[in-house]
Structure formats: C-alpha cells, structure tokens
Structure 1
Amino acid sequence: MAGVYPVPTTRTSSILAQTRLTAQLQADQLSILRLQSQISTGRRIALPSEDAPASQRAIHLQQLLELKAQALVNLDTSQSYLDATDSAIANVSSTLNQIRSTALGVANTTSSETTRAAAAAEVSRAIEQLVDVANQNFRGRYLFAGSKTTTVPFTYDGTNVIYNGNERELSSYADIDLLLETSIAGSQIFGAFSSSSQTVSDLQPILTRSTKLSDLRSGEGIGDGSIAISDGNSTRIINLSGASTIGDVADLIEANPPAGRTVTARVGPEGLILDIDDAGGGNFTIREVGGGTTAARLGIYEPLGTLTGPVTGEDLDPILTRTTSLADILGVRAQAIVQSSGPNNDIVIESLTRGSASNGVSLQLVDDSALHASPGLVAGAEQVVYSETAVAARAALSFSGFGNNLLLTGSVTGTSLNNVTIEVVSGGAIGDAATATFDANSKTLTIAVDSAGNTSIQSVVDAIALEGTFTASHDSSDGVDGAYNPLSTVSVGDIGVVTGNTSASGGEAGTIFVYVEAGATTANQVVTALEANSDVTARFRVSLDDSDTSSPGAAGKGNVLPGASATTIDGSGSDLDLTSGIIIENGGESFTIDLSGAETIEDLLNVLNGSPAHVRAEVDPTGKGIIVRSRLSGRPISIGENGGTTAAQLGIRTTTEEIYLTELNYGRGVGTFEGTDFTITRPDGVALDIDIDGAVTVGDVIDRINNHALNTGSGRVTAALNRVGNGIELTASQSSSPGTLSITKAFQSEAAWDLGLIPTGEQSITTSTAATVASARLDFAGANSDLLVTAGIAGSSLSGVAIRFVDSAVGDVATATYDAGTRELTIALDASATSATTIRDAINLEGTFSAALDATSDPTNDGSGVIGTTGVVGITSGGTAEVLTGANTYHQEVQGVFNTLIQLRDAINNFDLASIDRSLESLDVDLDRINFGRAEIGARGQALDLLRTRLEDEEVTLKDSLSKEIEVDITQAISELAARQASLEASMQLMATLFQTTLLNYL
C-alpha cells in the first residue's frame, strides 16, 4: 500500500509537495496500466487478490466447467461403445432370425437328409459367427465380457461354448455424481449362465464374536447408537458407535456396567446373552437412549426388567459372507456353561457335533464329602461319572459312636431331591423312637430323636423309610465306624449338630457327575478330570469360559461351587459333510470335487470356481446360502452327491425331492397312463404295481414306492435319490437270490423312462449292483479257535450286527440267539470250556448266520480251542444291498443363444423333431432377450443424448456466470481510462508549474 501523506496547508515544504505529486502521478499510471490490461484481455481480475470473493466464485465455476467438459467427452466415448454394441446385437438378431427360418424348414417329417445336413451346417456356421460377434473388441475392450474387459468373453471348442466374463456392467460418469452404464454383459444378451429353479437353502450361519454388525438382521445391519443399562439404582449410558462386531458390543457392555455391579455379556449362537451379578439385587433393565432403536435392533430391549435374571437376546439372523467359517453353518453345537460364584471358575462344555442329540446332557458338580461318612476326595483327585440312566440323590449322616453312620438315598431318581438339607433335631422325651418329616418348600428333611439319647439308629432308619421321601442304610465307607449296629443310639451331642445335604448328587438320564472337594477344587482341576473321561471326550469339548476370566494368568484358578450345574441346550442342524465331496457333470464330463480342504465359504467358492467343471459359485444375494451355475452352453449340468450329503446340505444338489415332475426331461414332464405305470419286482418275488397319477414331485413318486401296501417285511425295497450323482435308486436291503430286483414298464406308459428308472426304449431292467453278504472274522488269542461268521442272506440288513459272547453256561455247550431289535447275535457259553466247534454249531443251528472255522491265520485250525473270552467279539460288515440306479432326467442348462443353437444342431443331426420344436421355442425366448437388450442399449443412448443437451445448456449458463464474475465492462473501462489519462495529464501540468516556481515569483 502507498504511503499516507499529510493534507497540504498554505505552508508546505517543497519536498512534501514533490512527493505528493509523484505519488499521484504513479497512482494514475498504475490505474491506466490496469485499465489497459483489462481492455486488452477482457478480464476484470488479473490476480485473486484484486477481488477475493469474485475470484473464489470464479474458481468454482471454472472447476465446474472443466468437469462438465470431461463429462461431455465421457458421453461421446460412452456413445461410441453403445453404438458398437448396438451394431453387434443387430447382427446377432439378424443371424438368429435366419437360423429360425432354416430350422422351420426341417421341423417336419418331409425334410430330406440332405436338407437337414445343410441346415445343421448352417447352424454350425452361425455358432462360429456369433461367437466371433460376441468376442468383438472395440477401442481396446471386449464389449460383452462384463467388467472383465481384457478377457475374451466366449470360447468355442467345436462342441460347447464357455463364457469367461461376468455379469457386471461398466459405468462412466455422465455428469457430476451420475454414473451411467455404458456396457451390457454377454450373459444379458447371449445368455451365459444356467439358472436354478430351487429355492436357495439357508445355511444358517451362527453368531460369533467376529460377526460384523453390518451383517446382522438379514444384512440390514445395526446402526450407530447408545443403550441404557440399569440395575434400578444406577444407570449407565453405553455408546456403541465405535463397535464394528457383535463381540465389540459385548465388550463395551461388560466394560460399562452400572456403578458397583458386574455385567457379563456372552455372544450366543443366535444372539447376545446378558446377566448381572445377583449380589446387588435390583432390577436389570435395558432401554433405548432418546428416540433410538439400538437395543431393539440388538434384540436386548428389556424395559420391564428381569430382576437379577439374564436377558436372552433375539435371533440376530446374520447373513452368510465369504469369510464365514464352514464350522459356523448348518446349525449349532449343544452347549452348557457351569457357573460358580466369583471369577475364573466357569466351565463350558460343547458338543463335538451339531444336532439335537447332545441336548439335555447335564453337568453337575457334587460335594464328594457329603455322600459318605469317610473323608471325601481331595482337590486334584476329582472323579467323573457319566450315567445314561437317572440317578437318585444321596447324602451321608455321620453320628458319633460306632456302627451308626447312614447313607440316605432318594426314593425317586432325578434332580427333584438335589440340595435337600437333612437336620437332626430334638423330639423331646420320646424314648427309642424317631420321626421324619419333609418340607418340600424348604427342601428340608427333619429327623426328630429322643432328647436324652435313647433313639437307636434302627429307629431312625425306620422313621426315614416310613416318611417315604428317602430310604436309609448303613454307610460302611468309614472303616473306623465298624459293622452296622442297629442298637447304636443317637447321642445327645449329635442333636442339632449332625447335618447332611444331597448337593447335586441326583441326576436325570444323561448326566455327567463331577465329584469335587468343596472350597478347594478349581475349575482347572474339573476340566482336567473331564478331559480324562472317555465318555465325555467322545461327545464333548471342555474349556474354561473366557468371559469369566479376569486375567490370563488367573484363568481356571477359581474354586468351583458344589451344586452348580448346567444342561446342554440349543443343539440343532447337522455337521457339514466335507469328506465325501460332490460330483458335477457338465459338458459331457464328470468331475469329482474335493472340498475337504475348505475352511471358509470363500475357500469353498474358490474350489468350485477353480475346478474344470465350468461353473460359477457365489453367495446368494440374500445372504442365505450359495448358488452354483453353469457357464457352459451346449450340455446340461448336474450336481449330485459322491456317496455323502454334501451337495444337499449346501443346497446345490440339482435334483431334489421337491423338483416338480413337470420340470423333468427339459420341461416335457412325465408321461403317465391310467392305472399301473411300472412294476417293481423285489428279490423275494413280491411285485409292486406303481401308479404315479396325482404325483406332483419327485418326492411323491419316492413315497408311492416306499409306502406301497405290499412293500413290507425283510425284503422291503427303498426308493431314494441316488447316493452318487442324481436320479432315483431302488435298494433291496436283503436278498436270498442276488440280482433279481427289477423294474418293468407298463404298456403305453412312459413314466419309467421319463423318471430314468428304465433306459429309454427298454421294457425292463434288473439290478445295477448285486447284493453282497455281511461277515465277521473272529480272531482269538488261542490256537484252533478262529471263526468266520457269515450272514445267511445277502444285503445290508445283517451288516453291523454285534456278536456277543455271554458266560452263562457250564461245560462245552453253547446256545445262539439273534435279536433283530438290538441287532445282536448272542452266544451263551462257558468261557472256560466251550470250544470253537461248539460255537460254530450253535450259530449254524440258530440259522440267521452261518459259521465256519477260519484257517486264514491258523491253517491247522480244528476248532478244538477254547475261546476264553466274553463280550462283543466282532461286528459284521461288508453287506451291501442290491441297488438299481436310475438315470438323471432333470436337466439344468444355460438359457441362452449358444445353448439353443448347439441343441438345435444336434436335434437336426439326430432328426429329433421334438427337440427341434423345443429349440425353436428357446430361440424365440433368445430373440426376445436380444430385443430387450437392444432396447436397453437404445434407452441408454437416448439418455446420453438428453444428458448431452443438458450439459451443453449448463455450459452456456456457467460461462455466462463466469463472465459476470471476471470479465470487464469494456465501455466502463474505456471511460475510466479516459478519466485517468486526463487526471494524469493534469497532474503532470501541475508538476511542471510548481517545479518552475522560484523565490523570485514571490518578491
């Protein structure tokens, strides 16, 4: 900024006047220079500092203009791609119309072989031409590859066409924040993927700590928010906005309990499980904060409270993601948590397998010292007992004196008499008598005895028996007490002192009892004892509860509480069969897919997508399960089992019992005739006439066979889906004449053909796989004693039979009996005298099995050896049923141009008029798809035209606004320039006059 000069007065110095005039001259020159620059450039602003607000507005307008200019460039580029795509689709449509006309010419019985050969050749050429069109590359990218622009979309090997692209579309910015699709995937025009008609199977992923909040509630997620947790006295507001997983939510809740309280938060298989410590009492509530819905969305909204009880959250329904572990789908493993007061002592038992079979197993901690008069076990020597039958509660009473200790046992089994307190009180002067009363409310058994010590122990036993809730007997566990003395009395010193408690000693069927030392046994010691028990480890995994651990070093060191118990719950579903694998038939080839190495859904998808079966596997858009589609045109796809249940469990098996019969045989359905459609003849000669009229699904046909009135008894035939591949198979569980299971079609009915039970054109079929006989080789330690036991009939019905020796006879004798219910062959013998020959004869006499001396490992075996053992000595195996395996007639195929043309070519070559007609119908569908695709391209082109017009109009408006901000008004600038020049001239004249003045002018 120029200096500030004083206002001149009548008395000024020459220097001041000179300086002022020079400054005025410079200001005029600068203004003239600025105005000359504005006039020459047309810009009012040369530097942003000249008009900061206007400059800022101008910069923003210039940026908008640049973006709009780029958008116009994008529109031109996008239009070129759409024009090229439209041109290619027009060629496809023209070619298909020509092929349709050609096919119509041979879709009759009058066409010649030469005409059909020429038509087939024309279809083949059309396939090649259309593959070339579909692989068109324009401006460096393939038009029909989806987003895989550098990948050749379609490959043709002369037989099948394989799509290598995807279903995604490329988008370009047509305006600020406006994306417009500029491509169309080959699958949308040509049809490149098969589509499944089945409903996606829900794989039921369970909730884990790592489950993202965004994946809950069927993918709707849980929004940011807060919840209020209260015990009735203190309330804590918990902000959950920083949580990303459900485990984070649990940690935040545990870290922010109401003042002075402890809240545990566990992530269950379906939802959150919250609990508050019992010691502080109050009422445990969970409410919303403000108008939020976070608690409700988390499934833990509990405004009324649960006192000190737990809050069990709702099912949060997580979706399946690529990172979901395969160990966390298809159900829940049964689990129980045994909780003791205090930290570092809770124990978790979890079933090794999913399913409800492990529900209802209880784990109970029992005070060992309360069950007998002798000193209880010490910590570190805990004992574990698993009981499959219900156990009655027990308690010991230790009296002073000798021969009078008692063991009380509940009169009923189960847990109803657990934690019952037994008291010995004074009954007054009643002599040698006693009374017993039981209070069910307080769970107390009161024994009243003579106050002077005259009551005998036998009177106490009789009184307890008379009352009926318990029975009493002498407890001989303490050797010091000696033998039972019924006349021994209850001393006065025992009154009010001797007590007992049944603890958790009683249990329902399927209870695991852990006997512990009260106040000394730790959770670690209980876990060690459980892990050492084979009955437990065969079914359960035992661990400490991490959420109860205060620090890693303290884990499991807390004492457990006798009487604590828990029962396994929530077991559901089944374990995924990853060992069997699946079979995919595609392109005329069969591929066995090994899934045993997969650990996550992504691993599973990678194995499928990386296989040579030409399939695309992905997570269903709803997040419920997975879908697998073929990308090979020309042949149908079939996904079946490989002897297991993998495909069905994953929901990707193509043939299921829910398939409608009308969907079989490419939609032609199943041809039936009034009355019997086919006859199944069992190996035992029983004929089953099957009428499928009224059947709707494949499952209905299977039920008609299995539930036939004559299909009973040991020769029963079972219908089911094929164990390997797809189709329907019949199994005869046993057969006296292998190879005689057969199916015969009825006259005029084609049902057996259409169901794949009989090859088309054949009238009957016999067993595909003959039955084999079950057997067991019994090898014993002694010489001359090995036996080979063989089932009397072939089939699987006698496979898995246990052979049990029971020591219940005297001498070299034996008797054999077979129990079909328990599937046991029992031989009653004398283990010290019965010879192998005698056992052989007994088995042969019974007749269900035959036995022979086995010389495999003992060539001189004469059967004279004595067996000398009992128990289960062998289990039969190897028996397989007669199986008649049907063919698959449910075909999933790509609904697209190339599949239609390949099928049409083959149908013309085979002169299959029905297939030609079906291909023509498919061709009409393909033409409709192409027309819709072309219409979509046209609609996008129109949208581009509209956007171009709008952008051009916006450009004019923006330029006008920019002009107002930075461009100069020429008229005003010229006027100002003239004024400034006049001012400059005046200033110079004034300077000349002043500088010519001397002292003489004033004399």
Structure 2
Amino acid sequence: MSVLPVTTVRTSFPLSNQRLLFQLNADQIALQKQYDQLSTGKRVLRLSDDPAAASRAIGLHRSIDRATQLGRNAASSLNFYQSTDSSLSRVDNALIEARAVAIESAQNVVSEDERAAFATTIDETINTIFASGNAMYRDHQLLGGFLNSQDAFSRIGDKILYSGAEAIARTNLGAGETNALNLNANQALGALSVFHEGEKLHAGVNADTRLVDMRDGDGITPGLIRVSGGGDWYDLDLSAATTMSDVVNLISGTEIDGRTLTASLTIDGLRVEYIDGLGGTLAVADAEGSETADQLTILNPAGINPPPLIGSGISPAVTGQTRLSDLANGDGIDLSDGIQIIQDEKVIIVDLSAAENISDVLIAINRSGADIRAELKGDEGRIQLRSMKSGSDYAVGENGGDAATLLGIRTATEQTLLSDLGSGQGIALNPNSPEISIIRPDGVQLELNLEGSDTVRDVITLIRDHPLNQDTARVLVDLNEFGNGIQLTAPPGAAPLTIRQVGSSNAGLRLGWIGEDGADHVGSVIGPVDTIIGNDFNTRDAGGTLDTLLRLRQAVRTGDIPEITRLQAALDVDLDRASRARGRVGVWTRNAQQLSDVAETRLISMKSQLSDEIEADIATVVSDMSQRQLALEASMRLIGKTSQMTVLNFL
C-alpha cells in the first residue's frame, strides 16, 4: 500500500496541498476497489487490474464455456441414447416372443384356433415394432432419420411402407471427432433393405473422361514423365492435364531422337507409339516424385517392351454422370425398350428412352411409382435396389428388350442359382427319377434330371441339348421377353405342349412352370407356335424385420411349415441385427458417460484455476481495507491541520 510522505522541506502551500489531495484521492480509489472486491468477491474486474491474470482468465473462460457445452451435449446425447435403447429393448423382446411363436407353430399338430392365437401374438409384435420404429424424442425420429419429424412407418392395407430417411445426426463430445447421435431404421430394423444388387457396370475411356475418375475412381495424378528413344531422355510435363484428351494431346507430337510420338485411347486405357508405326526403342519412366506413367500403365523404363506401349485396366469409375453411350466398355447400351418393375403382381413400366446417363436411369426408377429406391453402390459401379414396402414381393424384368440385363438389375437371369429359388429353399430332387417331363406337341417326351445342375442356364442347356430334342419339332427355350420367367415354344401338333412335374420334386414350381396345385402346365398356340410362358422364378422379399413378421403371420395362418422354418432363420438375422444395434447404442452410452465425466472433471479444475486468478482473498481484502481506512483518516487529518496553518506558524 503506497503512501506519500509528508513533506518536511520548505515548499509552497499549493504544492503541499496538491500532494495531500493526490494521496487522499489515491486512498479513496484504492478503498473503493477494496469495497468492490469485498462486494463481488473478485480481485480482477477489469483488464487493467491485472493484465496477466486477466489474459489467463479469458482463456480459462473460453475453455470453461467449451467444457460446459460438451457437458450439455453429453447430457442430451445420453437422453437420446436412453430413449433409443428403450425402443430397441422392446424390439428385442418382441422378436424373441415372435421366434417362440414360430417354433411352436411349426409343429404338424396345431389346431386352427391355436394358429389364430399365434397369428394374433405376431400381430402384437408387429404393432410393438411398428411403434418403436416411429418413436420420437424431442421431435426427432429415433430410428426414422434424425431430420424426419413425421412417422417413418405407415400402414397401407396389410403392408407397411417406410418413408423415413437415413440421416444420422452427429454431436461433439470432446473425443476429437464427432459422435453419432442416432441409428437409422436400416441399421436397427432392416428397413430399406437391398433386395437386389446389380452386376458391375463397365465404362469405356473417351476423350472427356476425367483423370480423377480413372482406375475405378482411384484417379491418375498428372505429373512429369520421361521418354527416350534409346538416347537422351526428354521430360514431358502432363501436370496440366485434367482429362484423357489432354494426356493424348500433350504426348502426341513430341519429338524424341528425330521421331514423333503419337497417343490414342483404347477401350480401357492409353496407347503410345511412334507416328510412323515402326518399332524401335521407346522407354517411358516417371520423373522423381511422379507416378503418372505407372498409373497409366505405360511404364517401360528400360525400353524392353517395343512400341506400341498399351496401358490397360484403368477404366473409369461408373458415376451418376457416366453416359449410357460409354457403358459396355465404350460400346454403349440401348435402353429405349425400358424395364418392368413387378411389385405384388402389379407391373410398372419404366420409360428409359430419354435417359442419357446413370443419374437419369436412377431418377426414372425412383419416380416410376414403385416402392423402390435405386442408387449407385458407392464406387463399385453397380446399381442396387432397396425396398420401401414390407410384405411386398419385388422383381425387375425386361419390357421386350434387354435394358434390365444391360443395367445388371434383372432379378431372374440364366445365372440364377437353383439353390436360391423359392426364397433360398432351393429345389427338392427325386431320388431315382427325373424331376420334370416336357411333352412336345408331337408326343415326344423330354425327361429332365436336374441332378448336377447349378443354375437356370444348366436347366435351359438340358432342354436344348436333350438327345430327343434335336429335330425340326424341337422345343425352343429362352427367358421371357416381358417380365421374368422361362418360355418354351414348339411347332403345333396333335397335342398341346405340356410340362409335368414328376414325383415329389418341386422343380416345376420353383422354375415357374407349375402352379401351387401341382397340375400340368398346358401350353396354347400363340401365333405360329405352341407356347408356355413361365412365371417369375426368383421374386425377392422386401427384407427387414417387419417384412419377416408380416410373412410369418401369413405362414402361421395357413400352416405353411416350410415357410415358417425359413422365416425362423430370417428372425434370427433380424434379432441379431437389433441386438447389435442395441449393443452399439450401449457402447455410445458408455463412451458419452465417460466423456461427460472427463468434461466435468476438467470443468471443476478450470473453475478452480479461474478462482485462483481472479477471485479475491476476503481476509486479505479486509486487512488491506482497514489499513487503507487508517491511511485515509490520517491523510484527512493532515489536510485539516495544514489547511489551518499560516505564515505565523513558521516564525
């Protein structure tokens, strides 16, 4: 505490009064600060009070604000996780109950009343899972997409439509990265299941192909390459190239050892040679730090391979902007006939005549009116189809052309495995007899033994190559031109073309030739030929928990034991999915709790540091204030005495 000394030398009255008034003012200001500290408990109220401490306090305030927000985030996340866990708990319990019902109802001796009771129980499990799928917390869907404020699932007749989203919210809990806040219905309930994953599409290289799209999306990094004709090396800068035409133009016309290079595009790469077409030495290497020649697969540093150097296997990735004319390795595909989407026996024709690229195709399918969502699968270059309506059967077939096959999304093809027929139940074979008998119109009988056949193509080959089917009256077989199925044709005769299922085999049923009643399929004359048009042999389930339960309810009502047995395995998958989803939420909960505890501990520590920096020591403040009051009183007394003095006091 600073106090000015009383002057003892001869000074003027004005100077003495000024010194005393200054001391009085300083005491009053200091005393006011101490009053402020005593009333607020703060030692630092302004930056000027203690700049160093104030600077540290500002940093601590920011850290405290962040820790406080992280704590709020953790608390909100924990509440969201707890609500999600509660919903998934109900799903788990419902699926366990449904599986128990499936096991009981798979018995041969079950009365109609018992089956009705079992179906009612499954109805309750469907209602429970339906409600859990639509559960919300703070106006946000727990499973139907975070940004979706409406019900994700809705009933349409005896089926359930999913119209939710897959949006995943993320929050900052202080772990260095954002944490997921919710699951979507696909992760928990299998909604929007992929019912068909198409064949990989292949795009050819053209002049406009971007380097970043080459090598199936891994891209080509433009850089410096070196070329030589056996003598000196020449640098060729490709760093400005962005498309394959740029690469061709930058290479073409380059002079090395008196010869001119030329480059051209192949179906899946680049061709580099001399413009005269003759052989010789053509060495190509990457400059230091460059990988361009290697990525173009024209690397030939020692010149061992003679020209032309052909880089191949670097086809571009198929993206939404890939033109249809570039597909089929550059040959292009014709989709003018369109495709058929068959949903619950309703045929929806998708017009693709105006489509120019993959995005146009996806948009046309998604706007067709079918409960389907079509999308490209990542960077794999294949179209995948997701189901939106549980309880529906789906199929994609032709509409008189081959558009579905060219797009790789026809669901019933010659490559379809026989073991996949009947929703994965396969074909039952006869032990000592053929499975199918085809009776031609001329009376010749073709017996088909499917032992050793693996695919639909094998069955078609058996018919085509049958020893009794090599004459002019032979039966022709192919896939249906419209929709899906296998079509048989033969010249008309005295009797109709007939397909018969032999013994206990279900091969005719599985291949779409025979109905559920097992009766012979008799053809009819269409135009100049006797024709049998088979049904779709590979329809797809929508997939997902609700789809399984809807099918199980129907199977229990009708007593379809093979179907119940199949659906038991599907229930196991659904229960495993839901349990894994719940386990994931449990891990998130534990992590959020740990991060919350860390944030709370850090918050307490920082508040303690902040207290040390800016808060006042009350005992010290009271002591200093007492001394300052004494000093103030002394100053005032001294001013009072000196103000009464005259010149006579100094005589």
For normalisation by structure 1, the TM-score amounts to 0.57
Higher relative contact order (CA 8 A, sep 6+): 2
- CA pair 905-238 structure 1, distance change in 2 beyond 3 A: closer
> SS of 1:665's equivalent?
helix
Q: 1:26, 1:253 → 2: CA distance?
A: 84
Gaps of 5+ in 2: none
497, 503, 510: which one aligns with 1:741: 497
Taking only the aligned residue pairs, the percentage that are identical comes to 32
Q: 1:946, 1:123 → 2: CA distance?
A: 39
Corresponding position of 2:243 = 246
Displacement of 1:956 in angstroms is 0.8
Q: 1:227, 1:993 → 2: CA distance?
A: 94
Displacement of 1:145 in angstroms is 0.9
Give CA deviations for 1:69-105 in whole Å, capped at 9, x if unaligned.
2232233322223222332333333344444444444
Corresponding position of 2:398 = 641
Q: 2:337, 2:610 → 1: CA distance?
A: 72
User: Which residues of 2 match residues 460-475 of structure 1 at below 5 A?
Assistant: none
- CA pair 610-56 structure 1, distance change in 2 beyond 3 A: farther
User: Which residues of 2 match residues 250-399 of structure 1 at below 5 A?
Assistant: 250=247, 270-271=268-269, 287-289=286-288, 291-293=289-291, 296-297=294-295, 315-332=313-330, 354=331
Q: 1:161, 1:228 → 2: CA distance?
A: 59
User: Which residues of 2 match residues 305-704 of structure 1 at below 5 A?
Assistant: 315-332=313-330, 354=331, 575-673=332-430, 674-683=432-441, 685-704=443-462
Corresponding position of 2:199 = 201
Displacement of 1:892 in angstroms is 1.8
Check the 8 A contact 1:160/1:587 in 2, yes or no.
no
Q: 2:32, 2:248 → 1: CA distance?
A: 72
> SS of 2:600's equivalent?
helix
- CA pair 23-181 structure 1, distance change in 2 beyond 3 A: same
> SS of 1:117's equivalent?
helix
Displacement of 1:683 in angstroms is 4.5
Corresponding position of 2:484 = 726
Please state which structure has a larger fraction of its residues in strand: 1
> SS of 1:331's equivalent?
coil
Corresponding position of 2:152 = 153
Q: 1:311, 1:62 → 2: CA distance?
A: 66
Check the 8 A contact 1:141/1:150 in 2, yes or no.
yes
Corresponding position of 2:74 = 75
> SS of 1:664's equivalent?
helix
Give the counterpart letter for 1:643 in structure 2.
G
User: Which residues of 2 match residues 861-876 of structure 1 at below 5 A?
Assistant: none
Check the 8 A contact 1:739/1:766 in 2, yes or no.
no
Check the 8 A contact 1:222/1:298 in 2, yes or no.
yes
> SS of 2:553's equivalent?
helix
Q: 2:336, 2:263 → 1: CA distance?
A: 36
Aligned length: 637
Q: 1:100, 1:83 → 2: CA distance?
A: 26
Give the counterpart letter for 1:755 in structure 2.
L
User: Which residues of 2 match residues 105-254 of structure 1 at below 5 A?
Assistant: 105-175=104-174, 177-196=176-195, 200-207=198-205, 214-221=212-219, 226-227=223-224, 235=235, 245-246=242-243, 250=247
Corresponding position of 1:885 = 533
> SS of 1:114's equivalent?
helix
- CA pair 612-975 structure 1, distance change in 2 beyond 3 A: same
Give CA deviations for 1:456-489 in whole Å, capped at 9, x if unaligned.
xxxxxxxxxxxxxxxxxxxxxxxxxxxxxxxxxx
Check the 8 A contact 2:195/2:543 in 1, yes or no.
no
Q: 2:391, 2:225 → 1: CA distance?
A: 62
- CA pair 147-309 structure 1, distance change in 2 beyond 3 A: farther
Check the 8 A contact 2:90/2:128 in 1, yes or no.
no
Displacement of 1:620 in angstroms is 0.7
- CA pair 694-312 structure 1, distance change in 2 beyond 3 A: closer
Greater displacement, 312-321 / 57-66: 312-321
Displacement of 1:648 in angstroms is 1.4
- CA pair 144-995 structure 1, distance change in 2 beyond 3 A: same
Corresponding position of 1:30 = 29
Displacement of 1:146 in angstroms is 2.3
- CA pair 16-277 structure 1, distance change in 2 beyond 3 A: farther
User: Which residues of 2 match residues 704-723 of structure 1 at below 5 A?
Assistant: 704-723=462-481
1:940 counterpart = 2:588? yes
Check the 8 A contact 2:144/2:151 in 1, yes or no.
yes
Corresponding position of 1:86 = 85
Displacement of 1:618 in angstroms is 0.9
1:920 counterpart = 2:585? no
Q: 2:612, 2:570 → 1: CA distance?
A: 63
Q: 1:933, 1:229 → 2: CA distance?
A: 54
Q: 2:98, 2:463 → 1: CA distance?
A: 45
Q: 1:233, 1:96 → 2: CA distance?
A: 71
- CA pair 237-909 structure 1, distance change in 2 beyond 3 A: closer
Displacement of 1:694 in angstroms is 0.9
735, 740, 765: which one aligns with 2:521: 765
Q: 2:428, 2:607 → 1: CA distance?
A: 75
1:965 counterpart = 2:591? no
Please state which structure has a larger fraction of its residues in helix: 2
Give the counterpart letter for 1:758 in structure 2.
I
Give the counterpart letter for 2:398 in structure 1.
E
> SS of 1:666's equivalent?
helix
Check the 8 A contact 2:226/2:284 in 1, yes or no.
yes
578, 584, 598: which one aligns with 1:950: 598
Greater displacement, 24-33 / 300-309: 300-309
What is the alpha-carbon root mean square deviation over aligned residues? 4.1
User: Which residues of 2 match residues 793-872 of structure 1 at below 5 A?
Assistant: none
Corresponding position of 1:753 = 509
Displacement of 1:258 in angstroms is 11
1:59 counterpart = 2:58? yes
For normalisation by structure 2, the TM-score amounts to 0.84
Give the counterpart letter for 1:947 in structure 2.
L
Give CA deviations for 1:859-905 in whole Å, capped at 9, x if unaligned.
xxxxxxxxxxxxxxxxxxxxxx5442222232321333322222222
- CA pair 997-249 structure 1, distance change in 2 beyond 3 A: farther
Displacement of 1:608 in angstroms is 1.4
Q: 1:123, 1:117 → 2: CA distance?
A: 10
Give the counterpart letter for 2:571 in structure 1.
L
- CA pair 217-991 structure 1, distance change in 2 beyond 3 A: farther
Q: 1:250, 1:21 → 2: CA distance?
A: 89
Check the 8 A contact 2:270/2:311 in 1, yes or no.
yes
Q: 1:17, 1:211 → 2: CA distance?
A: 92
Displacement of 1:615 in angstroms is 0.9
Displacement of 1:164 in angstroms is 1.3
Q: 1:285, 1:660 → 2: CA distance?
A: 47
Q: 1:577, 1:896 → 2: CA distance?
A: 34
Give CA deviations for 1:967-992 in whole Å, capped at 9, x if unaligned.
34445555555565565556556656
Give the counterpart letter for 1:691 in structure 2.
N
Displacement of 1:626 in angstroms is 1.0
Corresponding position of 1:339 = none
Give CA deviations for 1:19-53 in whole Å, capped at 9, x if unaligned.
45544544444344334433432333323354445
> SS of 1:175's equivalent?
coil
- CA pair 718-308 structure 1, distance change in 2 beyond 3 A: closer
Corresponding position of 1:905 = 553
Displacement of 1:141 in angstroms is 2.3
> SS of 2:556's equivalent?
helix
- CA pair 891-44 structure 1, distance change in 2 beyond 3 A: same
Displacement of 1:587 in angstroms is 2.9
